[in-house]
Amino acid sequence: MAGITDQPFRQLCCQMGAGLAVSEMISADQSLWKSNKSQRRMQHSDEAGIRAVQIAGCDPVELALAAKVNAENGAQIIDINMGCPAKKVNKKLAGSALLKEPNLVEQIVKSVVNAVDIPVTLKIRTGWCEQTRNGVEIAKIAENNGIVSLAVHGRTRNDFYKGEAEYDTIKAIKASVSIPIVANGDINSVEKAEQVLRYTGADAVMVGRGAQGRPWIFREINHFLKTGTKLPAPSMDEISSIVIEHVQALHNFYGEFMGVRFARKHVAWYMLKHAQGKAFRSSFNTLESAVEQLEALNLYFDNLILKESVLYV
């Protein structure tokens, strides 16, 4: 989720109950490390909680170096990306394209695991396509070469994000290895989280798109799994605080110019289920300053909270 799971969003998700929030994907290509974007993604020492950093590439030596550099910069877990379906990533034989090359997968895993003294995890899909769904084979390679935990998205690369995730392959992977398995794909409700855990036998679930605009999903899932009961939905007053503090964190992290632009997409996700959300997004996206954005959000939520309180008088 490059461009989404930046430090402000990861911190928020952890505050909302996520047990682990993995960084945006960092390329192992050293020629890209001098960009502002890469520099922001490669600084981890100031981040609270467990610092898990995801690296991507296809060269075992480059990936090993990327792992070492990020460990030196404060990473506590290195996660190797073999799940990204993006064409610009796959054409370089990175991300999920690596699933077509089990021998290269083994070389990469060995190289990265041997390069660092911190745990190394792996993220994959079920395979490249329906005819080459080799998740079990990749999982065994991962386990045999030192990977400590494996996250599996229940789609092939050719599926991208279309249709529904399938969990049969994740179930088969869980039965074939002894390392912890994390099930991923379409986990967007407490019921779905419980269903997937029960069906696959996985040790945990990973939430991606389901947390966009709804970071409190983590505490909802935790509560449901522990008690079997649902938490009440967050009040509009709490949602207001979450959104405004998130936007302020984006402004502080990126600076005003970029922070304003990153805030637009996060606010759009928060507003998806609001009756007046579409109209608000249109006007919000024209605002060019941090002050204007915060004033607009405060006014918007003040009106909603007022209407909510009138309804319950």
87-129 pLDDT, tens digit each:
888 877 789 899 999 999 999 999 999 999 999 999 999 999 8
> pLDDT-based confidence at 292, cuts 50/70/90?
very high
Which spans in 1-145 are helix H?
7-15, 36-41, 60-72, 87-90, 102-115, 135-144
Q: Is residue 188 within 8 Å of 194, Cβ to Cβ?
A: no
pLDDT, position 94: 83
pLDDT, position 220: 98
> Does residue 184 carry a pLDDT above 60?
yes
> pLDDT-based confidence at 313, cuts 50/70/90?
very low
Catalytic residue (choose from 13, 14, 58, 84): 84
Question: How far apart, in whole angstroms, are the C-alpha atoms of residue 252 and residue 231?
Answer: 31
The mean pLDDT of 48-54, rounded to a whole number, is 86
- Pick the closest to residue 57 from 23, 80, 33, 86 (CA basis): 80
pLDDT, position 147: 98
Highest mean pLDDT among 95-99, 120-124, 281-285, 299-303: 120-124
CB-based contacts of 178: which residues, under 8 Å, 6+ apart?
A: 143
pLDDT, position 88: 82
SS3 content of the chain, % helix, strand, coil (to 5): 55, 10, 35
> pLDDT-based confidence at 278, cuts 50/70/90?
confident
Can you say how many angstroms the Cα of residue 162 is from the centroid of all Cα atoms in its chain?
Answer: 18
Query: Any catalytic annotation for residue 84?
Result: yes
What pTM was estimated for this model as a whole?
A: 0.90
pLDDT, position 46: 67
pLDDT, position 31: 72
Question: How far apart, in whole angstroms, are the C-alpha atoms of residue 94 and residue 54?
Answer: 13
> pLDDT-based confidence at 311, cuts 50/70/90?
very low
> Does residue 275 carry a pLDDT above 50?
yes
Q: Is residue 142 within 8 Å of 150, Cβ to Cβ?
A: yes
Residue type, 259: G
Question: How far apart, in whole angstroms, are the C-alpha atoms of residue 280 and residue 300?
Answer: 8
List residues bridging with 56 in a β-sheet: 27
The mean pLDDT of 206-228, rounded to a whole number, is 96
